[in-house]
Structure 1
């Protein structure tokens, strides 16, 4: 398990532009929660002009506490796995405190319903976690950042997540998909884990909210998005970039090679999935990135 929050920007469309406009941080939860959570994410903004952020969602459930200065009062919601590009308009002053669960990690906090029930939906927090109070929401959205993190810890620990071996297995499988780039097909993963493809699909529907094929494709799109913004991260390129003279053009992505590396049958399939998810072809997105 990671020692701290991830530092990558996977899923964030035009991350430099977002970070130039808002204060964005990730924080680690209490040790007792780390087996279920990726991290907390905190955003504060004070904008003279409205700004719209875009995110290619992870296969994760998020619990989001938020206050938009022009739209009181504060509120909280559960955001199931997002199937499409997510956009959020920010204006004036505001604050968001989010909990990103590991894929498979939300079900122990809300065991009565399969996670697929929340997929593609954003619902008031009381619908999924009925013990939540207005006091909980206010505590999470207070001014002091450390106090916000402590309030999130206290709130989630108070929900009493129930140990669930099936949740543990779903989290382990989703993590394997994310980290093992040789996993390119559902049947391949099922065979490696000694499961039938159907059992694997049922497990993911109940605990992750989307099927394993969707998770495989989404993580690959995340990597392609990151490569489009940072070509120097391509395998074997980072070392050469260190010696690149100032002002020289940066490395370009070999999209055909990347498609093969990510398990696509050809470049056209990568371009199709990237365009459908992000809204523009990868080459156009790369040209627009600073």
Structure 2
């Protein structure tokens, strides 16, 4: 049976890249038989969802601390804009931590930019919407953002991420490098990311395992991305994904549940 879920990465206009970390589309066909996997996600996403009858809804989906598995809905397509660290408050009017594990309607959030964005995304087709956002979004966000806090949170995220040749730094070392206290660093992550620095690093490493498990022996991968050993990696993976790596990669997934209803702000 052909895959009923299709995914595509869409190009992000250069002018939006300081604020939008990536754009993608997901479409579900007529007969979704496999569980739809929602991976752990450190980014908040603005989602334009088009239903079976063409109804368009604009949502904000907050960071996801752990994976979830649902049955999906037939004939649904979504375009997702992944917000870069530090974008949530100036765009949506709330700290990212207030959105963790939630899906809310974009136009119900307090930021004036959120309502204008919702209106544009509902009215315009994806290509037109991106062109419009490239014109207006940088101006909205530059006016609303605290540049110094944005730069600090992005430097913290970079330091807590898996990078080529470097494993994620320790929280105490990142705080020292940025000349802030550990408490200040946690507050920066709460506002600009939504997850604590430690949980952000856990999500980032598990996502790296998902990206590279097929290309690298697990023990080598565990060492390369900062785990103590393969057992440590397996434990972290099971905690965030609900099953150990071997089960996940052989398709032995947790039972799927119905899609959650939208949680209103």
TM-score band by shorter chain is: 0.7 to 0.9
Q: Distance in 1 between matches of 2:158 and 2:250?
A: 31
Report the TM-score when normalising by structure 2.
0.79
**1:131 equivalent in alignment to 2:115:** yes
Q: What is the aligned partner in structure 1 of residue 261 from structure 2?
A: none
Q: What is the CA deviation profile of residues 130-172 of structure 1, one whole-angstrom value per residue up to 9, with x for unaligned ones? A: 52477523334x3xx5335325545745744524220122123
Q: Deviations over 1:204-231 (max 9, x none)?
A: 1121111111111111111122233x2x
SS for the counterpart of 1:92 is coil
Residues 1:96 and 2:78 are matched in the alignment: yes
Could you tell me which residue of structure 1 aligns to residue 193 of structure 2? 208
Partner of 2:211: 226
Q: Secondary structure at the match of 1:224?
A: helix
TM-score with structure 1 setting the length? 0.73
Partner Cα separation in structure 2 for residue 134 and residue 32 of structure 1: 20
Please give the alpha-carbon distance, in whole angstroms, between the structure 1 residues aligned to 2:149 and 2:127: 33
* Corresponding position: 1:185 with 2:170: yes
Note if contact 1:29-1:153 (Cα within 8 Å) is conserved in structure 2.
no
Whole-Å Cα distance in 2 between the matches of residues 52 and 152 of structure 1? 33
Q: Report the counterpart of residue 68 of structure 1 in structure 2.
A: 51
Aligned-pair CA distance for 1:100: 0.3
Is the 2:19–2:87 contact (alpha carbons within 8 Å) kept by the matching residues of 1? yes
Q: Could you say which residue in structure 1 is the equivalent of 2:37?
A: 54
Q: Secondary structure at the match of 1:107?
A: helix
Structure 1 CA distance for aligned equivalents of residues 11 and 244 of structure 2: 35
Structure ranking higher on relative contact order (CA contacts 8 Å, 6+ apart):
2
Match of 1:35?
18
User: What's the offset of the Cα at 1:274?
Assistant: 0.5
| Equivalent position to 2:218, from 246, 249, 254 | 254
C-alpha separation in 1, matches of 2:167 and 2:198:
14
Q: What is the CA-CA distance between 1:52 and the residue it aligns to?
A: 3.3
CA distance in 1, matches of 2:237, 2:206: 6
Q: 2 CA distance for matches of 1:88 and 1:183?
A: 31
Query: Where do 5+ consecutive residues of structure 1 fail to align?
Result: 1-16, 235-252
Instruction: Please say which structure displays the higher CA radius of gyration.
Output: 1
Q: Which runs of 4+ in 1 moved over 4 A?
A: 157-161
Cα contact 1:78–1:123 (8 A) shared by 2: yes
Give the aligned partner of residue 263 of structure 1: 226
- CA offset at residue 63 of structure 1? 0.6
3-state SS of paired residue (2:55): strand
- Given the superposition, is the C-alpha separation of residues 179 and 58 from structure 1 closer, same or farther in structure 2, using an over 3 Å criterion? same
- Cα RMSD of the aligned pairs, angstroms, is 2.9
Contact 1:54 1:86 in 2 (8 A): yes
Distance 2:122 2:153 in 1: 33
Shift of 1:99: 0.7
For residues 192-250 of structure 1, give each alpha carbon's deviation from its aligned partner in whole angstroms, at most 9, with x where no partner exists: 3333212211111121111111111111111122233x2x2x3xxxxxxxxxxxxxxxx
**Count of equivalent residues:** 245
Q: Which residue of 1 aligns with 2:151?
A: 168
Question: 1:139, 1:188 → 2: CA distance?
Answer: 47
Structure 2: give runs of 5+ residues left out of the alignment.
253-265
Aligned in 2, Cα 1:43/1:150: closer, same or farther, shift over 3 Å? farther
